[in-house]
Chain A
């Protein structure tokens, strides 16, 4: 019979293929034989014969060889043998299995080459597995599923070659994780083997032995391994070392997938490692003694970078890290606030100076804190904009804390200090960086209107007393504020500068005007007094400039000496001629005067003459003594009633004239440090000084931290102007919208008021007053709606 003859020739050749004796076999003969059988409709029979042949070959020949590979060390419980023994036995076993498989696989390739015609015509026609894939299935069923007698397999599951292969591979991976060197190529080819077969007859990737049988075990074993490792590391090492180890493990696992296992496992094992080492331990890790707080305090940038990187892998928002960083910023910020507030016990002169120093220190501390975190942000947090936002929030939080309401004042004082002193020896670039720092801090301030108030007050003193080192730098600062806070914020401040410029021009033209008058008026020319005037627009300059925190100052009229009054009258006329309809109010509180004082001796030619630079008030006081006969005295009350100077100013000016040792131009009896209403004053004829020019400083007139009472007043004033701004905003909104609900009106008003953090209660109160004043009305039917009344 033709089939029997052909098959027996095929079969003997197949045997030769399996025993690797192929060089004498003619491919063409075999191929032609199979071709003929298929053409003669013997395909089915041929197919079954091939399957039978392979089955028999594997079960009789190969299986026996594989079973001999199972050594007692391999199946023994893992703790009863040494690692070296186990590794050796495992390697031998895996090598043997792999060898058998690759032999088999190569033979199946050859068989299916020879039987190509069978595959192409018969198998495809009948939709049955090709010769090659049936060969793979047979290996799986005959070899891998072969049970193994095992001493360790008393756990109920049946140990087979396959489970033994998986177990050995896992064992080797564990050895490698623990630092041993293993044969990666061997494991890789075992992986390849497990990828070459499927769990049943559906040949998709997810049903490959590797994916279905090996991978779950591998992931579980890894999970257990890393759970144990993370516990151990949390106990034994610091957070930095933990992060380094975690990162190293991640890299190792990725590498292992490439070199030892399948790249398809990469994502899954990464998730396992991240889950065990990071996700579950992150909160604990961050809060460790050596955690984020320690890293921040000791500038462990590299470790912070690691924490940042690892957190990012398990949580896009990095919530835990953000929380830790934020709370550290607020803590450190609170400490700075505390330090600045602590010398706040009483408010006499000396502590005021201390407080001012504390204010400057506060600014510097906050700046260096900012620098620190900027550095961390740039070096460790990869300049993550989200992190920056969160950190800015924290700075804003502690700078605007309810129990610390001095941020605005302190920043303004810091600028003041720099404008007056610290800028002197700095280069342009340094000046610029100081200004930028101030702006940086300003960004954190929520109540920008408070800052404006303080800034205007400090600026006004700098301008009027000529204390500013450079007007250019002042203007630079304004320019920066304009960019940062917008035009409206700086208009008034710019107006202050404009006033100063106009005043300079005005003064020089008045000087010219006076020289003409003196030419015609002998009385005036006898007493040539020079007047420098600063015309200040009252809405623009801070009002408390004039009042200077004295409650008894109520538009009182200072009684000027005749010469001065005459001069002011001339000026008033001159000014009215230039600007019709403007009202001038003289504000002597901020003025100064240069006077020549003559201290008589017996010989008139040897009289001591000094140039005194005094405040306007002091000049007025000294004028009284000018007209007084020698040796007579004036009481405090006399001076008060003859000058009408507010009491507080009077006391301070008398103190500087009569109590300061270097500028004791008046003598006081009784001599003491304080000025009392009953004191008497005489001209100090015996005054001596080594200097020709003497500056008489009025006590505590510089820019300094406010006292608590002053602060309260400042806040009151601020609230007033806020109320006004708030009302303006409400009216503006309602005029446009005509009709709005309470909630909408509230949120729009909040959105418009950007210069400070408005209080909802205040807005409500403003709405009420606007209703009373009939700008708005409530809807009669719906009381939550407001309507605008034109």
Chain B
């Protein structure tokens, strides 16, 4: 039976639009500018009114669709989408620029129009789906064999990743984005050891990434050492930093640890920014050595006495070779991280991490040394960040403190938590969603971070346990049933 459609919906929509209107008025309805030294305030009422009307109809449509109404939300959604699409058309064809036209005052900005059309479509689709599902009897679904499914998804993802650069439809841009995503996948897997396995919330992981990047940058620029020599050194230095920073603070409890690590992350960034003699301050370090294919440069004209990659294989020079090489380099590093994690989870130290995450007091009474165990997780996590950091430095050829802000740490923690805390595939999927997708919305640059933040909140509300909630102990004793 359908609930009667009447005033509660309307009242709710008015209330929501009213609150949103009050909240948005100072920021959307007014604009603060500075002319000379004097601040001035100007009004932007059309945008404000447009936003409030949009929120009203959006809320009305969403709650009607949720309550099982069909015709009304579909009509509303279609109307919203049409109005939004027409406004977009006006905007893009420049008709709106004709300010004398009578409709000028009613055409909202591009952002509102986009939200209106997308929201309208979403409401109509949800209501339509309700209509289709109306008469179907809910079928009891068989629980999916999660472990197998995850395994095959992982194998499929790895397979796609390996053949990706060889596919014909793939261009430079996609390889670039994929390399970026893989960097975050690797960092996510590294952080997963700390957060997911050992249960230590680290909000300053970017510090170790920065240590790795600067180690390689400085060693390469000062001594001219090659990437392959510096890579282990960068990892070792980052791990050393992990131990130094972790030693005093790892006995702190969850949230305190989070804020202290955040503090460390900021401290490293401030030091990089201000220690001008050593790090070149805000100008950063440029001309960092590019990676070579085991000594063979990626250059059209190699230096005297060396051979280049393309002459080695007898193929024509193509700058994309370097990109593909970088892609495979980070893929190998990421897979190494993954293999390491999967193996170490079965070793005593890995089991101790997971046990410590679940119950520290019990662990202590069973003779696990919490400090050393946590420290090992912290150091190993830091080491992988160091590897990723030196890859970042060699890929960019330039490092500056700009790249190591808190937002990077926040993105990484979000990737691990959204991935489901401890799930390796979850981390990869979350990295694709959080880092890969936004790259394709570069045109909406300004709205990107807004959408990113709201996306974090919405995904958390939708799935508080992460995308792939999977928190089973890696090892079980035989007497226990497997699906406890």
Indicate whether A and B interact.
no
